[in-house]
Amino acid sequence: MSDGGQWQVAGNAAETYERALIPAVFAAWAPLVVALADPRPGERVLDVACGTGLVTRLVARQVGRTGNVVGLDLNPGMLAVAASSAASEPPTSALITWEEASATRMPFPDAAFDIAYSQLGLQFFPDRPTALREMHRVLVSSGRLGLMVWRSIEHSPGFGILAAALARHVGSEAAGIMRAPFSLAEAEELRGLIAAAGFRDITIRPVPGTVRFPSVARFVQDYVAGSPLAGHVAKVSDEARAALVSEVSDALRSHLAAGALAFPIEAHLASARK
């Protein structure tokens, strides 16, 4: 998760995020993100804006017991769920340390890690250049970077439709929160940020994926409950919430099969070296 106020979850949202949103939206991407930096046994890895620790746990299995992995996030609720989820990891995994801190002020010495990852965190940081400079600072010489950000919301009709419906039935602030994950959508902007932080050998490629929910109602309800949208949607009337679900259901009918919802989404996967 992020430093930015636009994406700080509260209450039991972190549990909903792990239980419902990870499998529906994020899980399929984690192996791709980890593969960007080709982690090897014994390496030291930092996962920036680790959320509930999806990438953190996966890379801990790859670097093994001789490795060391740190999951960093500003949100204590996310870290609590991350630590709980990691408790059942196999004994062959690396030790994971969970660190509550900002991506722009990391509490680590220079050259502390071989790899730094951030899956869907960079777009939320209030100071992206500083966060990337911090990632560069904590990496060893020739250390590797692996990043993922969404492409524009136009590549994901489900979220575009939800944003438009939120604007009509909840308010413009809620719609802005829904659009925030797609706010670093241009490859050249991303490349420029990474290069300005001092990284080299930058590779960025667009990759298509699919978002899957058991139904449109579950899509709206789970995404709202597992995100900062929850407080905004809770303030409107029952009628407004029903209209929100109804509008999204009508608009996404063509993406239903046997009642289940599946719609496309696209990401930029970026790798680089210090």
**Predicted structure pTM score:** 0.93
Contact 222, 214 (CB under 8 A): no
**Parallel, antiparallel or unpaired: strands 68-73 and 139-150:** unpaired
What is the structure's pLDDT at 70? 98
| Residue 235: DSSP 8-state | T
DSSP type of residue 255: G
Rounded CA-CA distance 239/253 in Å is 21
**Residues 81, 15: contact at Cβ < 8 Å?**
yes
**Which residue from 174, 251, 207 is spatially nearest to 32, judged by alpha carbons?**
207
- Asked if 257 contacts 209 with a C-beta cutoff of 8 angstroms, the reply is no
Nearest Cα to Cα of residue 208 among 261, 272, 144, 262: 262
Would you put residue 56 in left (φ > 0), alpha (ψ -120 to 50) or beta? Answer: alpha
Residue 31: CB atoms within 10 A of its CB come to 12
Angle between helices 157-169 and 172-179 (to 10 degrees): 160
Beta-bridge mates of residue 255: none
pLDDT reported for residue 125: 95
Per-residue pLDDT for the chain (274 aa), expressed as one digit of tens each? Answer: 344 434 343 448 899 999 999 999 999 999 999 999 999 999 999 999 999 999 999 999 999 999 999 999 999 999 999 999 999 999 999 999 999 999 999 999 999 999 999 999 999 999 999 999 999 999 999 999 999 999 999 999 999 999 999 999 999 999 999 999 999 999 999 999 999 999 999 999 999 999 999 999 999 999 999 999 999 999 999 999 999 999 999 999 999 999 899 999 999 999 999 9
d(CA 59, CA 41): 10
Helical (H) or strand (E) element with 3: none
CB-based contacts of 83: which residues, under 8 Å, 6+ apart? 53, 98
pLDDT at 47: 98
Strand partners of residue 70: 46, 97
